[in-house]
Structure 1
Amino acid sequence: MAGQIADSHSRLLFDVFSAALLLLTALLGAYLPRYLSARGGQQAGTATSLAFHLGNMLSGGVMLSAGFCHLLADSLRQLAFIGRFPIATFLAAVGYLITLLADQMVQGLTAEPPQGSAAGQNPDHSAHGRGLGFRSGQQQQHTYMRLDKADPADDAIELTAAAVAGFGPGSDAMTEASTVARAAEHLELEITRSRSDGLAGGGGHNHAHFQVFLSQQPLSFATTVLLACALCIHSVLEGVALGAQLTMESTQHIMLAIAAHKGLAAYALGASIVESKASATKFWTVVAMFAAATPLGIAIGFATSTVGHGSAGAAMSALASGTFLYVALNEVIPKELEHPDGHRLAKVAALLLGFGLMSLLAVWA
């Protein structure tokens, strides 16, 4: 009994330390894009350096292992079944679905209805996107491609690639496409190709020209608030997982998993708020709400771990494992691998490294 009380006291102290550290990590991570924007060293929302992407993939691997090898494994040892019902895996799936629904609600609330235009604007584009459209004057076909990359350099690459596909190598349009691409950030671009055949008896004459439609679409503050709400749900469940652990070893390992992702998520949120041109008061209000979510979850998790002989804590761990798996499998890994920056192998290596190191810690958990 004395050993259990001492262990509980140690976990409480470590949980307090973890809450303070994660709070500070969230505040600093969210402040960094604001600082960079104020210094003019970086545009808001363009955290696309290779180190950032590799760190994101590393955190994805860590969270994937934390979900499977730590949280779900711990809950299976303590709360595998209730009768014949697999309660632990059921709660993991519920945690996954809760996080999925939260994200889908945010996307549904932030999506704008389709809008067409006389200029041939594709009706499928939505808020805050940049578009590139090709339309053939001869066949009256229109193909639309969204450009949602955070880095304008990536937009330039994709614009140029699209121009090559649409106009062919060696075309004068390529030079013009490159010029347009350099000014593509935060813009909607529609490129129109016109073809006119020569008169009867003469050789055909082809020419291409660009019609560029520019419309600034800044991210709205309401969108960033909804994004923060979704991240808060993630953070509360992650904090619950940390506070619900019954041993110091597992508590420390989950702390590593959360810390690996918290700073990157905070940076993404801070960049979104800066892009929305929100005031300093609004900025810090939203950031404070996000930063406080994990400490709140830690308190809830610790409280539940002290009742029900650990069964409540095991249930919270199973629920939180679904959140960890959702973040890794839906938000980090596929988005990073789809990003056309040419570093797929390095990203996969970072993912495997994070997964391997976190899984190795399960030996001592």
Structure 2
Amino acid sequence: MSFIEDLVPFFFMDPKSREKTGAFSDTIMLKLYQSVSNTTCGSADEEIEGCRDSSAALTLKIVAISAILIASTCGVGIPLVGKKHRFLRTDSNLFLTVKAFAAGVILSTGFVHILPGATSSLTNPCLPKFPWLKFPFAGFIAMMAALATLVVDFVGTQYYERKQEKQSQKDQIDSVDLVSESAIVPVEPKARNEKLFGEEDGGAIHIVGMHAHAAHHRHSHSQEQGACQGNVREHSHGHSHSHSFGGGDEEGGGRHVVVSQVLELGIVSHSLIIGIALGVSESPCTIRPLLVALSFHQFFEGFALGGCISQAQFNSLRSTIMATFFAVTTPLGIAIGILASSSYNPHSPRALVVEGILNSISSGILIYMALVDLIAADFLSKRMSCNTRLQIVSYFALFLGAGLMSLLAIWA
């Protein structure tokens, strides 16, 4: 019987039967309490016999802190620093290709690494059969986290777009007022027989601001007619016009702000958990593959996050804070694990439940962000559909990233 089937009889039984089962709620509370107790549960499977070495493990943990910190910093920093260089700007083909690879890494992280781990934690035999083994909590929590991310994505985007629209309207009003004040130029009176704008005599005026505005739009044409328009076109009359696909970063600025913040939340939450798990481990056989896998994983997750931060066009201080927060999370988790290794028991029911729930939430967020805000946003864009070569390379990078990250599940 499922978890729901166990509850149905309780709500539809007659009063006498309900009296006989008056202790039902007490039993539920007792089992829930037992399920989050801190007692040792089973043996530490990952601490392979003959491979437990606290001294060697501590050395590897220190190496892991340094390696992961460097990988995370480089990954998140390249898009932020590289936006000043043409080939690493967020509108370059190279950036889109690497971002597709990173999206594959994040998607694989959610599906292959985090969600199965969450399922394993929440279905561990050490947990009470009711309720943890009666209902697929890991998948359910991941699904609800993905739907909650959709709501946050929608509400946040609407908020920032309205805020941006109000600011744009305010700037336009200020600009019109400035043009109105500066564009009215008094003209000296002409001779009686001369006509100016059909009027004879007197203090006529020239509206000079209109000419600059009209000249700006007169050449604001696309590079070619048809479905695929845009790119940057240089004109011989001394100025250029930039046409971006999908409205450009300015129009999508609000969405980029939301995407960068929600993506960082999903990444940071599971990075802290995996850092603590590495920190409490005393087995070099467990730490070595995790070190390599996490360095690879953090670099490309950082690249995707750095690209989103760059597209959101935050100021330098805010970009630095977000990048730093991402870079130090996993090393911080490892440090916490080292300090708590003597008292923290990762195999207790309490640790299994907390880790399983947090991993489920993280997987839901990352799967949604990878599919919707990273893959769909780029692969369904007009820019991608108008460039067959870019499509092929990006799809190859996407599958390669997902495949390589999935392959790492063999060791970590």
Which position in structure 2 is the counterpart of 1:362?
A: 409
1:266 aligns with 2:306: yes
Instruction: Find 1:160's aligned residue among 223, 231, 255.
Output: 223
Matched, 1:57 2:100: yes
Quote how far apart the aligned CAs of 1:307 are.
5.8
TM score, norm. by length of structure 1: 0.58
Residues 1:291 and 1:16: Cα distance change in structure 2 (over 3 Å): same
Post-superposition CA distance 1:144-175 (Å, at most 9, x none): xxxxxxxxxxxx9x9334x4469xxxxxxx9x
Change over 3 Å in CA distance of 1:360–1:349 after alignment to 2 = same
Uncovered stretches (5+) of structure 1, i.e. residues with no partner: 122-155, 167-173, 190-215
The structure that has the greater radius of gyration is: 2
| CA distance 1:59–1:15, change in 2 (3 Å) | farther
Which residue does 1:67 correspond to in 2?
Answer: 110
> 1:111 — aligned with what?
161
**Contact map agreement 2:68 2:330 (CA 8 A) in 1:** yes
Q: Is the 8 A contact 1:235 1:294 kept in 2?
A: no
TM superposition shift of 1:54: 1.9
How far residue 36 of structure 1 moved from its aligned partner, in angstroms, is 5.0
1:292 deviates by 3.6
Q: Deviation digits for residues 54-112 of structure 1, max 9, x if unmatched?
A: 22111222222222222222232332371422111123224434544554454233112
CA distance in 1, matches of 2:399, 2:257: 33
- CA offsets, 1:223-277, max 9 Å, x none? 988666434313322313422467444675355333222123224424644xx5x
Aligned counterpart, 1:288: 324
Note closer, same or farther for the CA distance 1:361–1:334 as it changes in structure 2 (3 Å cut): same
Is the 2:78–2:306 contact (alpha carbons within 8 Å) kept by the matching residues of 1?
no
1:213 alignment counterpart: none
- In structure 2, the partner of 1:201 is none
Whichever residue aligns with residue 362 of structure 2, its letter is A
Residue matched to 2:370: 328
Provide structure 2 residue ranges, at least 5 long, that are not aligned to the other structure: 1-42, 124-130, 173-218
Question: What secondary structure, in the 3-state scheme, does the structure 1 residue paired with 2:162 have?
Answer: coil
Note the C-alpha offset of 1:337.
Answer: 0.7
Distance 1:165 1:250, change over 3 A: closer
Matches within 5 A, 1:1-365: 3=47, 6=52, 17-29=63-75, 31-32=77-78, 35=81, 41-42=85-86, 46-80=89-123, 82-112=132-162, 159-161=222-224, 163-164=225-226, 179=235, 182-184=240-242, 229-243=261-275, 244=277, 247-248=286-287, 249=289, 252-270=292-310, 272-273=312-313, 278=315, 281=317, 284-296=320-332, 306=346, 308=348, 311=352, 312-339=354-381, 340-341=383-384, 342=387, 343-365=390-412
Q: Decide which structure has greater helix share.
A: 2
- What is the alpha-carbon root mean square deviation over aligned residues? 4.8
Matched pairs, number:
283
- Cα 1:32–1:356 change in 2 (3 A) is closer
